[in-house]
Amino acid sequence: MDLMNKIISLCKRRGFVFPGSEIYGGLANTWDFGPLGVELVNNIKQLWWKRFVKDREDIVGLSSAILMNPKVWQASGHLKGFVDPLVECKKCHIRYRADHLKENYDNKCPNCGSADFTAERQFNLMFKTFIGPIESESSVVYLRPETAQGMFVNFQNVQSTMRLKLPFGIAQIGKAFRNEITPGNFIFRVLEFEQMEIEYFIEENDWQECFKKWQKEMEGWLLSLDIKKDNFVVREHAKEELSHYSKKTIDFEYKYPFGQKELYGLAYRTDYDLKAHRLSFNGSVPHVIEPTFGVERTVLAILCDAYAEEGERVVLKLKPILAPYKVAIFPLLANKPELVNMARKVFDSLKNNFTVAWDERGNIGKRYYSQDEIGTPYCVTIDFESQERNDVTVRDRDSMSQERVNINELTSFLNDKIAK
Ligand code: ATP
């Protein structure tokens, strides 16, 4: 099995990611995060928010509505410009994004091999829906295709209530929707996803320097997740690739098992958006640098980076702070109440500080492997000696070494390790 299939199967088997609407045959390119997936996602979002909002004085948060007045999309240029080139295979009638066909399939239909396609037509990626009972042109609204416009239209509200001066940023984590023509590759390209975005407002003259700073910040973020430096690269967009609002864009591309593809983007959006919405600050229109981070692509990069097979075991070498469970508690034997009771006490003493798993099934070796596969960095076993010595065995996921730790010191022992 190739790496991608192994990851997809692990995600399903262990509760990270399930196919959307599965019991009804699924809904293509929708996925649900399971009990472990949602822990990983929450850890990513919390780390991001801490790093870019809480720890900084120049960036504030926002959570704006998904549905916005359609005039927003008219002004922002998305109604006209947020399009992809669509072609249809004349033989089997499957539709493709023309640039993907060129890039990945040498302009031949991957389904039937034909090279005969309809002419390109521009396809708008925004999902449409209606407000109220009447489905008419006047009740049309769109599901936002980016969170960014929420930050732009609130520019003045945020600036004035928080009394901000340039440079400052507005950050948001939220859902975005795109009617992608050729989605796929698991959670890489989906119809509904989450973005973590910052609109950073600056004086025009500062844009180059600020762009460089954000490139460093984004690289720092990736390294802080323990994503290996060799596994991502920066690629600048050619002129014809640039979005309708951008003067310069770079992509952080990750080497996914299915190829090197965009993970994050960094764009200089100029004063395009604020001008479009007729917004200004102290008589002039600030310019904008936009770092944007997709949550699903982050999850996928983290999983690809962390997946390892070592002899008998599969192990997710997640940075401890990202792991869904930080600690697993094992009473050595499930049928010895004195061990189970003591293990319960240890569990209760840790659960305020960590997400803790409990497992009392099967032999200890199997329980270790089971936790390795979901990336739990520490396993704690309570055995017969524990009662006499008031200690436990802590086993490390990566080195597989074991050491005995006094129960009174367990929280600070784990805290030290996990903070690293
Ligand atoms: P692509 O070229 O892959 O279509 P894009 O350049 O259109 O992506 P942006 O508009 O820059 O993407 O979106 C910002 C971020 O949102 C991306 O860097 C990515 O992390 C994420 N993203 C965009 N589209 C999707 C999608 N369909 N599924 C999952 N994540 C996405």
Q: What is the mean pLDDT of residues 255-259?
A: 96
Strand residues in 295-390 grouped as ranges (E): 307-310, 313-316, 327-331, 356-358, 378-382
What's the whole-model pTM score? Answer: 0.95
What separation in Å is there between the alpha carbon of 187 and the centre of ligand 1? 11
pLDDT at position 52 is: 98
Nearest CA to ligand 1 atom 28: 189
pLDDT of residue 231: 98
Percentage of residues in the chain having pLDDT higher than 90: 90
The protein residue whose alpha carbon is closest to atom 2 in ligand 1 is: 262
Cβ atoms within 10 Å of 403's Cβ, excluding its own = 11
Position in ligand 1 atom list of the atom nearest CA 183: 27
CB atoms under 10 Å from CB of 21, counted, come to: 12
**Residue 183 scores a pLDDT above 70:** no
Q: Residue 218's pLDDT is what?
A: 98
- Taking the C-alpha atoms of residue 203 and residue 194, their distance in angstroms, rounded to an integer, is 29
Q: Is the C-beta atom of 269 inside 6 A of ligand 1?
A: no
Per-residue confidence band for 6, with pLDDT thresholds at 50, 70 and 90: very high
Cβ(378) to ligand 1 under 6 A?
no
Question: 278 falls in which pLDDT band (50, 70, 90)?
Answer: very high
Domains 2-73+125-305 and 316-419 alike in fold:
no
State the pLDDT at residue 316: 98
The CB of 192 under 6 Å from ligand 1? The reply is no
Identify the H or E element spanning 71: helix 70-76
Q: Determine if ligand 1 sits within 6 Å of the CB of residue 264.
A: yes
300 lines ligand 1 (CB under 6 A): no
Q: Helix, strand or coil for residue 11?
A: helix
Verify whether ligand 1 is closer than 6 Å to residue 262 (CB atom).
yes
Using the CB atoms, write b or e for 121-134: b if 16+ within 10 Å: eebbbbeeeeeeee
Indicate which residue's Cα is closest to atom 7 of ligand 1. 243
* d(C-alpha 22, C-alpha 31), whole Å: 9
What would the mean pLDDT of 60-86 be, rounded to a whole number?
95
- Which residue has the CA at smallest separation from atom 1 of ligand 1? 262
pLDDT for 419: 82
Write down the mean pLDDT value for the chain.
96
AA letter at 62: L
pLDDT at 18: 98
- CB 147 near ligand 1, within 6 Å: no
Q: What residues does each domain of the chain span? A: 2-73+125-305, 83-124, 316-419
Minimum CA distance residue for ligand 1 atom 11: 265
Contact 142, 127 (CB under 8 A): yes
Interval 139-168 mean pLDDT? 97
What's the pLDDT tens digit per position in 341-357? 999 999 999 999 999 99
Mutating to test ligand 1, I would choose from 125, 242, 262, 302 the residue with most ligand atoms within 8 A of its C-beta, which is 262
**CA 208 / ligand 1 centre spacing (Å):** 23
> What is the pLDDT, as a whole number, of residue 102?
87
Q: Which CATH superfamily is domain 2-73+125-305 in?
A: Bira Bifunctional Protein; Domain 2 (3.30.930.10)
Average confidence (pLDDT) over 46-72? 98
Ligand 1 centre to CA of 294 (Å) is: 7
Q: Is 144 in the pocket of ligand 1 (CB under 6 A)?
A: no
pLDDT value at position 223? 98
Output the pLDDT for position 385: 95
Q: What is the pLDDT of residue 376?
A: 98
CATH architecture of 316-419: 3-Layer(aba) Sandwich (3.40)
Q: Looking at residues 326-332, what average pLDDT do you find? A: 98
pLDDT at 140: 95
Cα–ligand 1 centroid distance for 5 (angstroms) = 22
Q: What is the pLDDT of residues 360-389, one digit of tens each?
A: 999 999 999 999 999 999 999 999 999 999
pLDDT, mean of residues 9-35? 97
158: which 2 tokens?
């945020």
Alpha-carbon distance of 181 to 197, in angstroms, equals 23
DSSP lists the bridge partners of residue 264 as 252, 293
Taken in order 86, 87, 93, 94, the sign of the CA dihedral is negative
